[in-house]
Structure 1
Amino acid sequence: MSKKNSESDSANGVRLDKWLWAARFYKTRGLAKDAIEGGKVDYNGAKGKPSRMVELGALIGLRQGYDDKVVEVLGLNDQRRPATEAQALYQETPESIAARERKAADRKANNGALVSEHRPSKKERRQIHRFKSDVFSGESL
């Protein structure tokens, strides 16, 4: 792609999959496209499409692992640049940061409660095996 085409694309907008890739949310454009088509990305509250043109000031919601983020578009670029330049393309909303930190604290608190302090006794082991056989036998039918 020539430099002239790249500049005209940025003036008119950039495809959503290309912008997510350039902003380094996903390692490849293919992964960005799959995430969009899988419903993990929305654009201004509506379902996103890979070919949708991103505009300045738009809110993009995306899910990465356990984290849900809402970012505001501050810049457009269709080329993958260093991370410091990519971070200048967006800003995460304060509500999104607070919600993400709250969920992370909840996950951390719940994981501590799920860890057992001892090995299961013979009776507990039988209950675990019974539970697993009931769950898995129901799925295979």
Structure 2
Amino acid sequence: MTPQHSDTQARVDAWTWAVRLFKTRSAAAEACRAGHVRVNGVAAKPALTVRLGDEVRVRHAGLERIVVVQRIIHKRVGPPVAAQCLIDRSPPPPPKEVLATLPQRERGAGRPTKRERRETDRLMGR
């Protein structure tokens, strides 16, 4: 018996991989398990099904992508086709000037001290 693919729903890990939000399906499933993928505001397990119109939020590489499911696909497709399967509502990335002003720790410097954490929090406005 072969599994039937529905045109109205797909697994969230398979769909996010198919529309190229993740490089591999296993990376998509791992992100779901880690709580980095939300569907309609609810944390998604890899097997959760997505339907047309669902809002999918993906936290990946420090940025949040917000997409709305426009078309259900099950197989990975090229970038032009993948762009037609979703509506991207992600906020624009922060300007490079803002990223340059964020404090950076030198590699191998270890954990920040309590004093350094307070200074970082003060700079971030917390």
The answer on 1:42 being equivalent to 2:31 is no
Q: TM-score, normalised by structure 1?
A: 0.66
Structure 2: gaps spanning 5 or more residues: 114-126
Structure 1: gaps spanning 5 or more residues: 116-130, 136-141
- Name the amino acid aligned to 1:25: L
Q: TM-score, normalised by structure 2?
A: 0.74
**Cα separation, partners in 2 of 1:15 and 1:112, compared to 1, 3 Å:** same
Q: 1:10–1:77: 8 Å Cα contact kept in structure 2?
A: no
Q: 1:43–1:59: 8 Å Cα contact kept in structure 2?
A: yes
**Cα separation, partners in 2 of 1:73 and 1:108, compared to 1, 3 Å:** same
SS across alignment from 2:84: helix
Larger Rg: 1
What is the aligned partner in structure 2 of residue 18 from structure 1?
14
Identity %: 26
Q: Hey, what's the Cα distance between the residues in 2 that align with 1:133 and 1:56?
A: 45
The answer on 1:73 being equivalent to 2:30 is no
SS across alignment from 1:11: coil
The answer on 1:84 being equivalent to 2:80 is yes
What is the aligned partner in structure 1 of residue 47 from structure 2?
51
Q: CA RMSD in A?
A: 2.7
Q: Hey, what's the Cα distance between the residues in 2 that align with 1:134 and 1:81?
A: 44
Q: 2:32–2:46: 8 Å Cα contact kept in structure 1?
A: yes
What is the aligned partner in structure 2 of residue 109 from structure 1?
98
Q: 1:108 deviation in Å? A: 3.0
Q: Hey, what's the Cα distance between the residues in 2 that align with 1:45 and 1:79?
A: 25
Q: 1:41 deviation in Å? A: 0.6
**Structure 1 moving runs of 4+ over 6 Å:** 131-134
